Amino acid sequence: GEQVEQLPSILRVQEGSSASINCSYEDSASNYFPWYKQEPGENPKLIIDIRSNMERKQIQELIVLLDKKAKRFSLHITDTQPGDSAMYFCAASGGSNAKLTFGKGTKLSVKS
């Protein structure tokens, strides 16, 4: 089955700087790559996603890049704020049943 690697596991940045999280996947059939933000004790919330027909997508301060050839995708948060502190999970899915395989998560801490 699909395997998703996510790095780093812990990321500490200063408020106002950028944060980058990188993921790689194995299954070339994967075609959907969402990112979820999870705060302690809460459900994971979709923040941005990208499909395999795109290489770049931006929603406000969130940018996702997809390199299908290298089987890598990444999340970039520009101008980080303390409210961005949370766990971030990347995921990949493909095929007909939308089964998401998650990375192990990145704990982002934004210090003011």
Partner 1 sequence: GPKVLQIPSHQIIDMGQMVTLNCDPVSNHLYFYWYKQILGQQMEFLVNFYNGKVMEKSKLFKDQFSVERPDGSYFTLKIQPTALEDSAVYFCASSFDSQNTLYFGAGTRLSVL
Residues that bind partner 1 (CB under 8 A): 1, 32, 34, 36, 42-46, 49, 89, 95-105
DSSP state, 84?
G
CB of 17 to partner 1, least distance (A): 25
Whether 6 and 89 have beta carbons less than 8 Å apart is answered as yes
CA–CA gap between residue 112 and residue 110 (Å, rounded): 7
Q: Find the shortest distance in angstroms from Cβ 24 to partner 1.
A: 15
Q: Which is nearer to partner 1, 97 or 112 (CB)?
A: 97
Residue 75 vs 103, nearer CB to partner 1: 103
In angstroms, rounded to a whole number, what is the distance separating the alpha carbons of residues 76 and 36?
13
